[in-house]
Amino acid sequence: MCRMIAYLSETEIPLSSLVLGPEHSLLVQSYAPKEMMSGVVNADGFGAGWYAPELDDEPAVYRSNAPIWADRSFASIAPKVRSATIFAAVRSATPGLPAEESGVPPFASGPYLFAHNGAIKSFRTTAMRPLRNSLSDASYSDLLGVTDSETIFALLLDRLREAKARPGDAGALAEAINETVHQVSEVCSRLGVYAALNVGATDGEAFVFTRYSTEGPGNSLYFVESGEAFPDAVVIASERLDRDDGWRPVPDRHLLVASIEGVTTHPL
């Protein structure tokens, strides 16, 4: 399992004010999560991605397989890097999958960032081969590791290529994620394998998240619009960052689309 957090606004903020600063920040969620359904801590790496559109459309990414609390370099950098679009996560590696940087979110390709909070049970001996066999040559050749998360991102990238999606087309991103989650769910259901599929992706201009699992409720996911700590912004997080009454849970088996115009949710 992992914990994820996303920020979208027209106002830039330091990475630290999102990832390190809040009362229940991603840093705190790495060692004291409140709502994880599997695992105890998120100590198997962390990452942060952000956009600098004045330079190009592709995000910058900082990833490490060390716990976030042990990375002094990030603690030094984070207050000095500002962005209006930020996506970060801490990782608890799924049993049976290696704790190495290739499996640390967020994953990046072109203008896209992606993270997955969940797991496909016994992935390497069940769903790995049928899912990876369905990948295009381009997506398959770009794989670096053996995680379920990276595989789901590769499937999503194939959908986006087929749709000829471009940054700014939130509808195309939402449709591609919807189709990807259902594809993974169908394969896992056919194999009788449990899959928790809270995923999130951004093209730098919009975020799309799902709260979904093949059995039972999905992992926790919340959002707040123009919160006390983040005015004129949308923040999405696995766990609420503070005691603001504006936080709302994403309904189970729903897809969330966040843009500068606001947030909408749709059944999956």
Residue 113 forms beta bridges with which residues? Answer: 108, 202
**Within 10 Å of residue 207's Cβ, how many Cβ atoms?**
27
pLDDT greater than 70 at residue 205: yes
pLDDT greater than 80 at residue 99: no
What's the pLDDT at 38?
75
What's the pLDDT at 96?
60
Residue 60 has what DSSP assignment? E
DSSP assignment of 220-264: P-EEEES-SSSTTEEEEESS-SS--TT-EEPPTTEEEEEETTEEE
pLDDT greater than 70 at residue 134: yes
Q: Is 1 exposed, middle or buried (CB count within 10 Å of its CB: 0-12, 13-18, 19+)? A: buried
pLDDT band at 93 (very low <50, low <70, confident <90, very high): confident
**Can you give the pTM of this predicted structure?**
0.96
List of E strands, the chain: 2-14, 46-50, 60-64, 82-91, 107-109, 112-120, 195-202, 207-211, 222-225, 233-237, 248-249, 254-259, 262-267
What's the pLDDT at 98?
60
74-78, 97-101, 130-134, 178-182: range with lowest mean pLDDT? 97-101
Radius of gyration of the chain (CA): 17
pLDDT greater than 80 at residue 258: yes
More confident residue, 155 or 168: 155
What's the pLDDT at 158?
98
Burial 29-67 (b: 16+ CB within 10 A, else e): bbeebeebeebeebbbbbbbbbbbeeeebbbebbbbbbb
Q: Which of 8, 53, 15, 2 is nearest to 207 (CA)?
A: 8
Mean pLDDT, to the nearest integer, of 3-9?
Answer: 97
Question: Which token pair is 240?
Answer: 């609420």
What's the pLDDT at 83?
98
What's the pLDDT at 41?
86
Q: Which of 1, 2, 88, 93 is catalytic?
A: 2
Tell me the residue type at 143. L
On average, the pLDDT of the chain sits at 94
Whether 2 is a known active-site residue: answer yes
Residue 1 has what DSSP assignment? -
What's the pLDDT at 39?
75
pLDDT greater than 70 at residue 202: yes
Chain-centre distance for alpha carbon 66? 18
pLDDT greater than 70 at residue 97: no
Mean pLDDT, to the nearest integer, of 162-191?
Answer: 96
Question: Which token pair is 19?
Answer: 């990832």
pLDDT greater than 70 at residue 5: yes
Chain-centre distance for alpha carbon 195? 16
What's the pLDDT at 37?
80
Q: Which of 60, 16, 67, 72 is nearest to 45 (CA)?
A: 67
Mean pLDDT, to the nearest integer, of 109-119?
Answer: 96
